[in-house]
Amino acid sequence: MIRLWHVAQSRSFRVLWALEEIGVDYELIRCALMDRALRAPEHLARSPAGRVPALEDGTTVLSESGAILTWLAETHAPHLRVAEGAVGRAEFLQALHYAETLGAHLANLTQHHIVLRDDRMRSPTVMRLEAQRLANALWVVGPHWATGSFSVADIALGYSVWLAQRFVTLPEAAAAYLASCQMRPGFLRAQAQDGPPEIYLREFYPPLRE
């Protein structure tokens, strides 16, 4: 049995989406963002950083969402990856890891807009800079990322674009890419399972003014 520790709207959504795309049975263990259980010894054994996702697949335990996506594709859904040496492998790897480039900007924006609740702790300069960097990085996202079929790289990248729209206006190609992801039955099932908003309570977070 696969078990997934999950916080709504967090990176564990990528794994939840992958599990729904694969159609495998799994147990979803819902956690809260500030849940002390995430710092309990038993969870730290699964996730040394005390975060989600954490996934148990038999005797295998993983806690990095990119690694989990790759593992699930390799072991349960080879159709959701591009194998070594196959046409499109480079594009697959580029998209899978480019999601982390977007994720770095998203993490900084989330920290300033949401985690730091006191305006005195926030930096309007950093917020504007990170929003601009995110917007610039999104210009390359579009149909050209496709490798001929949907893969876990699209799950990683699609999730990042899905969050990005809360901080910047998506370029047309990125918006079209996201729309295609959101129409997938696997995405819709994962969204239904995600739970009440835990992190992003507003539709859009503009930078603070000086």
Domain harbouring 32, CATH code: 3.40.30.10
- 182-197 pLDDT, tens digit per residue, is 999 999 999 999 999 9
Q: Same structural domain for residues 50 and 122?
A: no
Q: Same structural domain for residues 61 and 96?
A: no
Q: Same structural domain for residues 102 and 170?
A: yes
The predicted pLDDT at position 35 comes to 79
- 29-54 pLDDT, tens digit per residue, is 999 988 788 999 999 999 999 999 99
Residue recorded with tokens 């990248």: 157
Two tokens, residue 78: 């080879």
Confidence band of 57 (pLDDT split at 50, 70, 90): very high
DSSP secondary structure of the chain:
-EEEEE-TTSTHHHHHHHHHHHT--EEEEE--TT-GGGGSHHHHHH-TTS-S-EEEETTEEE--HHHHHHHHHHHH-GGGS--TTSTTHHHHHHHHHHHHHHHHHHHHHHIIIII--SGGG--HHHHHHHHHHHHHHHTT-SGGG--SS--HHHHHHHHHHHHHTTTSPPPHHHHHHHHHHHTSHHHHHHHHHH-S-SS--SS--PPPP-
The predicted pLDDT at position 84 comes to 96
Q: Same structural domain for residues 121 and 157?
A: yes
d(CA 154, CA 107): 19
Query: Residue 199: inside a domain, yes or no?
Result: no
Question: Residue 27 region, left (φ>0) first, then alpha (ψ -120 to 50), else beta?
Answer: beta
The predicted pLDDT at position 36 comes to 87
Q: Same structural domain for residues 137 and 187?
A: yes
CB-CB neighbours of 29 under 10 Å: 15
The number of C-alpha atoms within 13 Å of 37 and in the hemisphere containing its C-beta is 11
d(CA 159, CA 14): 6
Q: Same structural domain for residues 99 and 162?
A: yes
pTM: 0.96
Q: Same structural domain for residues 139 and 76?
A: no
Q: Same structural domain for residues 119 and 47?
A: no
The predicted pLDDT at position 147 comes to 65
Two tokens, residue 146: 């496709």
**Residues 8-35, mean pLDDT to the nearest whole number:** 96
Q: How many domains does the chain have?
A: 2
Query: Residue 210: inside a domain, yes or no?
Result: no
Q: Same structural domain for residues 100 and 173?
A: yes
Single residue among 80, 112, 140 that ends a domain in this structure? 80
Q: Same structural domain for residues 60 and 145?
A: no
Query: Residue 206: inside a domain, yes or no?
Result: no
Query: Residue 203: inside a domain, yes or no?
Result: no
Single residue among 31, 54, 80 that ends a domain in this structure? 80
- 143-182 pLDDT, tens digit per residue, is 766 667 899 999 999 999 999 999 999 999 999 999 999 9
- 76-122 pLDDT, tens digit per residue, is 999 999 999 999 999 999 999 999 999 999 999 999 999 998 888 99
Instruction: Please give the residue range of the domain that contains residue 127.
Output: 89-194
CA distances from 192 to 8, 9, 189, 196 (A): 11, 12, 5, 9
Q: Same structural domain for residues 75 and 93?
A: no
Q: What is the CATH number of the domain that holds 99?
A: 1.20.1050.10
Query: Which residues is 182 bridged to in the sheet?
Result: none
Query: Residue 208: inside a domain, yes or no?
Result: no
